[in-house]
Structures are given as structure tokens and as C-alpha cells.
Amino acid sequence: MSFDLVFFGGTGDLTWRKLMPALFQAFRHGKLPAGGRILSVARDEQTDDKYRAWLKERFQDVEGAKRPSDEEFARFAELVHYRRMDLSQPEHYGKLKQWLEERGADTAVLYLATSPHLFPQICQQLGAVGLNAPHIRVVLEKPLGHDLASAQEINRVVRSVFSEAQAFRIDHYLGKPSVQNLMALRFGNALFEPLWRRESIANIQITLAETLGVGTRGDFYDRTGALRDMIQSHALQLMTMVAMEPPSRNDADSIRDEKLKVLRSLKPFTNDSVLRDVVRGQYRRGTSEGTSVPGYLDESKVPAGSDCETFVALRTEVQNWRWAGVPFYLRTGKRLAARDAQIVVNFRPTPHNIFPGANQPNKLVIKLQPEDGLELHLLAAKGTGQHEPLAPVFLDLDFDKAFAENRVGAYERLLVEAIAGRLNLFVRSDEQEEAWRWVEPVLDAWERDNSASGAPRPYAAGTWGPAAASALVARDGFAWAEEQ
């Protein structure tokens, strides 16, 4: 199957930092169908060779084992082309069409790695020149919109040009092998399904913690904040996979229908529940991984006195028969104590304890990163004496070790899937809009109320966030995993 892959924003950060290195890995692993051509388009005037030389230099920043040798790069670079394109000029789209039609590949994937505010304009222009035939796909990078209305507007324009089956909305978490393992754990194994419900589960915690600060992205981040950046997208996507009903088939719409039902079942926020169930924080100076680091307000490009949140912890529920009354806690933040993405399923304690000591409940920890694995925490008798308390032990599965060979990174996988036209790992417009609908009352409440109760709570860099986040969970008689 021959294909053309076009990167709009061909000289931008995303293209050289993530997309090209991922594509190179796919090439190295033999995952790209033969007959592929990669085209970067951007404003600068330059030749294919100059672009390739520039790209080669950028590849020096790619981490060790993933960096191509000169010979590998030369073979990869043969696929890479460059064209100047001013995205505001209609005739440039005509030229692009001509270039694609000259060869007539089976598939063309148009990857919009530009600022999202350009998506509607680019889609309209593509439609105007007929670059929306059924063999053409469009890939849209996050963030898709800033709130429900802007997301709906982008989707309206995209849908007026492309069918839903042609639109590939990226949430790169869906490409991570660990997230795929979550599907495998739930729907490829029968063991947990009978327990995966309110009768056996006390609460579920999803943590996406980073040690990094906002780095050089202060201006973007300040317009975005942790709720939009991580909760609306990655955390909610993970939550849908944890809470969804088993799909009847492993195809895109069967899966996405079930995910959508979870989003529609989330307990809606009210003004009162935002104050009670959502904790918003902002980091101050502190020590991160042994180094002293500045607070958010001292980061470059962050406006003075900004009230942008770099941390969110919230409590919600899925209002259906399976989950009624089970708290789901979602938490994310920059400059936290560890880089740690995990889902912790806390089971209920045994109904009657016959052993001395605490009745410590079982828990399943689904580790997403930095390690990809599973821990099942149990209690065991140490065998040292009859009246000894039971000892906590855990079964530890390390998928990075078990499947050491050629584990595929998120963007590599998503690019290959988009070229193959498989939508399972992409977000459908109704899912995306429903996620915005759910977070919007929180955004509105924060915008209205910047009083002491609504403003972000400070936390020192290198900690687990404001104390109020612990109180949120403690109120229900629980604790975050690191406090258990």
C-alpha cells in the first residue's frame, strides 16, 4: 500500500521532536508500508536536501539508542521531501494537491502539527481544492479546542470537509503500550471482570504526575492549565478505559461507543461541588530530583500574578449500576515528587477479619510510566509465628522486561495506525466534546471565583501537591497510594 504522509508545520517542534523520530523508528522496525513518501510543508523556502540536513542535525537531540546512524538516516531521508507552503494562500493547496496526484498514492495522511487555531482554516482550504477524497485522512493534534464551544466549532468545520472515518484525533496516551495493556488486562483476561465493580472496589485513583515544570512553554501553558492539558484529555481517556463496559468487538466504534457512555455517566459538577471536590494548585520554588527549582510564577513567559493551575486533584463518580457510589480520584501536576503515571484500584477489605492487625485491603496497581507493569498487592502469612500479623506482599509483572524487544512508542504506533486507517486509538468527536462538557463547569467556576477559596493553592516543587488533595481523599476515609 503506497502512502503519502504530509506534515503541516514541518519545521515546528512537534514535527522534529516527536513525529520524525517516531516515524524513523517505524521505518527502522519495518512497520512503514513500502512505497511511502513523507512531505513536510512550512513557510521557509528550502530544498529537500537542506531540509534533510536540518532534520539530521535535529536528530542529534534524540536519545541514544533511538538516534539513527548516518547510513540509516540516509535511507530514511530518501523518503523525506519538503515544499514551501503558506497556509493562508489558497493556491498553495492547489499545488499540494497536484504534487500528491502526480503519484496517486493509495492513501494520503495529512497531519496538522500546527497551532490548533489554524485547523478550521486548513481544513476548509483542503476541502476547497478537493483534498478530502475518501482515501485522504486528516490527523489533528491536541489541544483540540479551549472549551466546549471552540471544540465544537473545530469539529463542525472538520466534519463539513471530512467524514468521521477520515478524522484521526490524537491523544498520545492512547498509543502508549501500557495503555493498550489496560485494555488487554480488562478484556483479554477473565480474572478481574467479576471483581471490576462497586461490590468489590472501594475507590480508583488515576495519577499522572510529572517532575518537570513548564520549561520553555510558559506562555502556552498559562493559557491552558493542568485541567485542560491533562485531565480533559489523557486522564479522562484512561478513566473511560478503566470504567467502560466490555465492548462487543475490538473495533473503533464498539470501543468508542462504550467510552462515550462513561463520559456521559460522569457526575456533573455544580458550583458547590467544584469547591468541594476539585483542588487546584500551583507550584512554588522547591527541590525537584535534588535540584532547587523556581516556582511557576518565576518561569519564563509566565505572566506576573498568573492564577493558572499546575496541579489538579478531583473526585468524581460514574453514575451507573456498575460504579454507583465508587469514588474515582483523578490527579495530575507538574513538579511533583516523582514522575509517575499509574492507576490504583483499591479493593474493599475482607468482610470479617480473623487475623491480628489491620484488615489491609488488596490493591491492583497498573503502572503506566516510567515502568510499564502490574502489581497485585496481597497479604501473606510469614510463617514466623501463629499470632503474627499478615505481611503485605505483591506480585510484580514488568512488561518492559517481559516484552523487551522492539516496544513501540506512542507516536510511532499512532502514525502507523493512521497510515493503516485504523481508528481504534483515536478520539471520536463526540467523546472529545463530552469530555469538554464535563470539565466546563469547573473552568467556569474558576473563572468566576478567584477568591481565596477558588484560587490555586500553593505547593512546594518536589512534593505531592497541596495538602487539600490529601484531605479530598481522606474525607471518604481513603488515602492516595503514596500515603497508604
Contact 160, 127 (CB under 8 A): yes
Q: How far apart are CA 83 and CA 13, in angstroms?
A: 18
100-159 positions binding ligand BG6, by CB under 6 A: 142
Q: Which is nearer to ligand BG6, 210 or 434 (CB)?
A: 210
Beta bridge partners of 109: 5, 137
Minimum CB distance to ligand BG6, residue 456 (Å): 16
Identify which of residues 4 and 210 has a Cβ nearer to ligand BG6 in the complex. Answer: 210
Q: Let me know: does 304 contact 176? Beta carbons within 8 Å.
A: no
Give yes or no: 172 in active site: no
CB of 182 to ligand BG6, least distance (A): 15
Q: How far is the CB of 294 from ligand BG6 (least distance, A)?
A: 17
Q: Which is nearer to ligand BG6, 114 or 125 (CB)?
A: 114
Residue 25 near residue 152, CB atoms below 8 Å: no
Q: Which residue is nearest to ligand BG6 (CB)?
A: 229
Beta carbon of residue 381, minimum distance to ligand BG6 (angstroms, whole number):
39
Contact 242, 206 (CB under 8 A): yes
Return the number of the residue (333 or 466) whose C-beta is nearest ligand BG6.
Answer: 333
Binding mask 224-243 for ligand BG6 (x = CB under 6 A): -----x--------------
- Is residue 453 a contact partner of residue 275, using CB atoms and an 8 Å limit? yes
Beginning with the edge strand found earlier in the chain, give each strand of the sheet holding 201-209 in spatial order. Answer: 391-398, 373-380, 363-369, 340-347, 201-209, 328-333, 311-316, 278-284, 457-460
Instruction: Please count the residues of this chain forming the interface with ligand BG6, following the rule CB under 6 A.
Output: 3
Q: How far is the CB of 476 from ligand BG6 (least distance, A)?
A: 27
The residues, any chain, with a CB within 8 Å of residue 236's CB and separated by 6 or more, are 263, 330, 435, 438
Cβ at position 315, least distance to ligand BG6 in Å: 22
Nearest to 84 by CA among 74, 73, 95: 95
Contact pattern from residue 343 through residue 382 relative to ligand BG6, giving x for each residue in contact according to CB under 6 A and a dash for the rest: ----------------------------------------
The smaller minimum CB distance to ligand BG6, of residues 177 and 247, is found at 177
Minimum CB distance to ligand BG6 smaller for 245 or for 289: 289
Q: Which is nearer to ligand BG6, 32 or 238 (CB)?
A: 238
Nearer to ligand BG6, 93 or 111 (CB): 111
Smallest separation, CB 422 to ligand BG6 (Å): 21
Q: Residue 441, preceding bond cis, omega within 30 degrees?
A: no
CB of 231 to ligand BG6, least distance (A): 11
Q: What residues does 80 pair with on adjacent strands?
A: 38
C-alpha cell at 192: 478481574
Residues 252-281 that bind ligand BG6 (CB under 6 A): none
Which one of residues 4, 141, 145, 210 is an interface residue with ligand BG6 (CB under 6 A)?
A: 210
In the complex, the smallest distance separating the C-beta of residue 192 from ligand BG6, rounded to whole angstroms, is 25
Closer Cβ to ligand BG6, 216 or 292, answer by number: 216
Q: Rounded to an integer, what distance in angstroms lies between the CA atom of residue 127 and that of residue 162?
A: 8
Largest CA distance in the chain: 84
Among 29, 92, 117, 234, the active-site one is: 234
- Rounded to an integer, what distance in angstroms lies between the CA atom of residue 434 and that of residue 413? 25
Write out the residues near ligand BG6 by the rule CB under 6 A: 142, 210, 229
Q: Which residues are catalytic?
A: 234
